[in-house]
Amino acid sequence: MKKKRPSQYPAPRPPKQGRRRTSTDRPDHRTLLVDTILEFLAGRSDFVGLGEIIIGLKLPRHERKFVKEILLSLEKKGKVQRRGNKYLLTGDSGLVRAVLDLTARGFGFAMIEGAEAKGKDPFISPANLNGASHGDTILVRVSVSGRGRPEARVVKIIERGISRLCGIYNVSGKKGYVTPDNERLPYTVFIPRDSGAGAANDQAVLVEITDYGTGGRPPQGKIIEILGDPMTAPVQIRMAIEQFELPRSFPAAVLQEAQQLEPLTQCDRGRKDLRKVKHVTIDGETAKDFDDAVCVEKTGSGFRLYVSIADVSHYVRTGSTIDMEAYRRGTSVYVPDLVLPMLPERLSNDLCSLVPEQDRPAFTAILEFNASGRRIGQQFSKSMIRSYKRFTYTDVRQIIYDRDPAARKSHKPLLPMLEAAKELAAILNNHRTERGSIGFNIPEPEIRLDGDRVGGIARAERNKAHQLIEEFMLAANEAVAETMDREKQPVLYRIHERPDPEKVDRFTEATSSMGLPLPGGDKSPAWFAMVVREAEHSPAEYVINNLMLRTMQQARYSPENAGHFGLAAEYYLHFTSPIRRYPDLVVHRVLQNFLAGSAKDRPKVQLLPNRTPLPDAALHLSKRERVSVDVERNVQARLGALFLHEHIGEEFDAIISGVASFGLFVELLESFISGAIPVGEMKDDYYILDTRAHQYVGERTARVYRMGDVVRVRLERVDMQAKKITFSLPGMDKENK
């Protein structure tokens, strides 16, 4: 008889009962009543009488005078307006619309709509949540605390953010509960007996919330799908998809519209016929959508680079059903063995894929470079191309970098083009390095699935062929951006602003503590690039690159050109991947309008569905990109924990990636899985935290554990629900005496 595997998920939390507030966390009666009155008036389109307010709030009669005093006070402050004995909320009521970002520790932040990205989001204590949960749209009243950070109290829940969730089902007696698979949802969901859908203990399920609960009563829901064993990779990936509310399929109308599209195979009017140019695609082994093809020719003055991108805009017309869905998604999302595409496969893997030996419509950037890599000319055109070969990065590495005789012989007709591409890519890379572009060297994990299991996690290969394509894509993006800026065309730029000086100071302090000699001078892109070069091949290279990345601001889309700090580029946008990124599709439409000029027989196309303003689109598409990144990281954390849960007690080589009050952060060298060593696990001595030096020092032994040190660690625990992994340092089993 097979022994039942113990669950890696904790038993469900009992429903939380409302705790009694103490005098230290209970707002005073007047403040509560002010919020209650404002909440009652919120959303009312007409004046409300004093009596209606008293009755609506179920207040005793003796409060009437107090309520009237509050209303008159609010009127003086301009928060309400009065007509006789009736009141209406003004636009300056002090209530702010926001979205609640709840943390696993129970407090939250009010993400205020339309607020500046650099502002501090108001803090909301657990006592001031007023029943709100993560993702809810809320009305808050903001105040400034003595510490300078704004604080807020939830006055009203406008709309619930989460209507369904994934979790682990458990039966306790005659009752069933689901523990959400998301630490930001600190409650259990009660499942009535007739709503369990036949789920068994410890199964992952999808739940629809039917009642959010009040007064300490837990939320209630019904199971709408049984996902299966949470200790399998496909179920963990599905749970991540559900957590971020990503669509797993396309609406029927979108698929129908895609099937009705007719392929363009003729070089129609306005297209440059480039079918004789020896374009090739270079992608990974498992790639299915080929949206870029390149060709390099030697010229008398240097090089001519063709970067041809699939003409998605020919098929995806602004405002069409496909276009609306693509804008909503914003980007494709990639997880192991699965792609959640922005466009239906009919487009991404067929009509818009630059497959070999097939004529395909494209948008081509023809760039002229001199021998030193300086761009001396550019031309853009709609085109018709024909890919001569589908290469993989491995193929190109073997042909032009390893110079494998068999590989070179089998691709002899394309050798001159590939050798020219190799030469130009090296020159462009040197040119970019000289101007100060930061060459982050952060390896990425590649997760290999073996059926339902995680077969292995290792460093993803990145060779010089990857860099070759990267250089050509960067060159095309910069050329298009510079042209759009010069011609004052409305477009979405890809901007990367200067890092915050305080973060830079913390970075230099942390890097110095690891013994890395830092160059002097202004903290320009060139300065950061020099730090990367100084750290190259050192034990702390990985940590320093990660610290630098966290120091930088997030790149984003913007209708205003602010340059790209990390690339040391004055002009930059995304032009090269319209199959998987909506901003690139917008750029293609802008280019189409620019090339059409003032021709009356070629009307200009709308850039965005529903005439969405560019600033709104920039904000939406930046958010969708961040969701994509968060999903990929979430899946990596899930599968990393799943991979390690079978290796409890084993030892690994790791690097200390951070030092904090609770202990050490570490990352495994082979798989890049993150975990922590609580200081409580360091039992051979009493360790003192030196925050300035980013290290722990043993009081008795003077043993030092510093950020950037390579250590041997032992796996102690894996918490699948929290995706937290706990390690210890071997040899510290004995208590300090």
pLDDT tens digits along 127-154? 888 888 888 888 888 877 656 678 888 8
Average pLDDT over the chain, rounded to an integer: 89
pLDDT value at residue 283: 94
pLDDT given for residue 119 in this prediction: 55
Taken in order of first residue, the domains within the chain and their CATH numbers are 252-302+314-425+445-459 (no CATH), 472-627 (no CATH), 645-728 (2.40.50.140)
Report pLDDT for 16.
46
Q: Rounded to two decimals, what is the model's pTM?
A: 0.85
Distance separating alpha carbons of residues 717 and 723, to the nearest angstrom: 11
The Cα–Cα gap between 184 and 101 comes to: 8
**Phi, psi at residue 735, to the nearest 5°?**
-65, 145
pLDDT of residue 394: 95
Binned at pLDDT 50, 70 and 90, residue 8 comes out as: low
Q: What is the pLDDT of residue 58?
A: 83
Helices (H) and strands (E) in the chain, counts: 17, 34
pLDDT of residue 623: 94
pLDDT band at residue 259 under the 50/70/90 scheme: very high
Q: How far is CA 680 from CA 521, 674, 700, 705, in A?
A: 41, 18, 16, 14
What is the pLDDT at residue 130? 84
Alpha helices for 331-463 (secondary structure H): 345, 393-396, 405-410, 415-435
Instruction: Dump strand ranges (E) for 546-692.
Output: 556-558, 651-660, 663-668, 674-678, 687-690
CA distances 396 to 147, 283, 286, 404, 498, Å, are 58, 10, 15, 10, 36
Confidence of residue 31 (pLDDT cuts 50, 70, 90): confident
Confidence of residue 323 (pLDDT cuts 50, 70, 90): very high
Strand extents, DSSP E, 661-723: 663-668, 674-678, 687-690, 695-698, 704-706, 710-719
pLDDT of residue 21: 40
* Long-range contacts from 525-532, C-beta under 8 angstroms, 24+ separation: 525/436, 525/437, 525/438, 525/565, 525/566, 525/567, 525/568, 526/435, 526/436, 526/568, 527/436, 528/438, 529/433, 529/436, 529/437, 529/438, 529/439, 529/568, 532/438, 532/439, 532/440, 532/441
**For residue 251, what pLDDT band results from cuts at 50, 70 and 90?**
very high
**Higher-scoring residue by pLDDT: 297, 171:** 297
- How far, in Å, CA of 656 to CA of 640, rounded? 18
Give the position of tokens 């008159």.
72
Distances (CA, A) of 588 to 22, 292, 490, 594, 705: 60, 13, 12, 10, 52
Q: What percent of the chain has pLDDT over 90?
A: 65
Phi, psi of 305 (to 5 degrees): -110, 125
pLDDT tens-place string over residues 202-248: 999 999 999 988 767 889 999 999 999 999 999 999 999 999 999 99
- What's the CA gap between 182 and 224, in Å, rounded? 18
User: Are the C-beta atoms of 606 and 598 separated by less than 8 Å?
Assistant: no
The pLDDT score that the predictor gives to residue 22 is: 38
- Residues 523-556 have pLDDT tens digits of 999 999 999 998 888 888 889 999 999 999 999 9
Residue 268 scores a pLDDT above 80:
yes
Q: Is the pLDDT of residue 668 over 80?
A: yes
| Residue range 158-189, pLDDT digits in tens | 888 888 999 999 988 778 999 999 888 878 99
Interacting residues of 478 by C-beta distance below 8 A, sequence separation 6+: 375, 569, 571, 572
- Distance, CA of 304 to CA of 24 (rounded, Å): 72
Task: Answer yes or no: are the C-beta atoms of 180 and 155 closer than 8 Å.
Answer: no
- pLDDT band at 733; cut points 50, 70, 90: low
User: What phi, psi does 550 have (nearest 5°)?
Assistant: -70, -20
Band (pLDDT 50/70/90 cuts) for residue 313 is very high
- Among 19-33, 332-346, 405-419, 560-574, the range scoring the smallest mean pLDDT is 19-33
Split at pLDDT 50, 70, 90, the class of 565 is very high
